[in-house]
Structure 1
Amino acid sequence: MHAAAILETNGQLFPLLLPIASRCACRLLRPAPGEKLRCAMLIVSPDWQGEAPEIYCRILLTPPEKAAQLSRVRAEWIVSFGPSSRASISFSSRTPESLTLSVHREVPTLSGKVLEMQEIPMRCPPGETEDILAFCAASLLMGAHL
């Protein structure tokens, strides 16, 4: 079983990802301030504020603008998500009912597979754009079939 840690402020991403993680044989963690941690994936929520604890992970999933706060994080792969096509994962289109998730470069999954560049059409879950993107990107890297 893989472990994935989430850094977030408002606590909304953790309960959304819990059922996905369970189906994908992944255990979700919330690191305590100052806790040293090793995990397969670190997910940084767009709302997160603060200084990251010392964490070593295989995959760091983060909005690009959080990089300055993550100086104590060591990762083998950095996968960015955001509205820009420069991010590893973004939306190429979105309507109130549907969206298309765009993977702009090869990215690893927790199972060790590599996702190729692709567009993934899906139903649009409710919420703010950045929260939806964080949820979709994390689910995809956990191995969920969206």
Structure 2
Amino acid sequence: MMKRVMLFASIVFLVSCGEKLIEQPENLIARDQMVLILKDMAIVNAAKSTNIGKLKENGIDPTTYVFDKYNVDSTRFVDSDRYYASIPLEYEGIYKEVESLLEEEKERLKELKERNDSLKLLQREEKDLLDNQDL
């Protein structure tokens, strides 16, 4: 009997995860674009927490910047976000994709930094070599 109850509860849970709780908005942001918006929002929110002074100094509102970049307004974003959130498996997939893109970006920036550091080291060594030749 307990196995049947657990099986029934599992089936209900799985079906409810795929069920749409709210209607799709007319102006729904496409899933791929939503992923990119959320990725950029994560980046600008991280920037806000570390360099808010620079952003204010340059008159940049990070959220407005992202919305302008993707030509969406806050209402459309909220409606789309709420819709995707009403489909838990879809929403989880979106955030996993965002996380993956952020990891890729992190690795790309790490490689660029390492290349830049290597270039600086070579330039320093070249300068030292030239300075020693002058002596």
TM bin, normalised by shorter chain, reads: under 0.3
Rg comparison, structure with higher value: 2
Greater RCO (Cα-Cα under 8 Å, separation 6 or more): 2
Q: TM-score, normalised by structure 2?
A: 0.24
| TM-score after normalising by structure 1 | 0.23
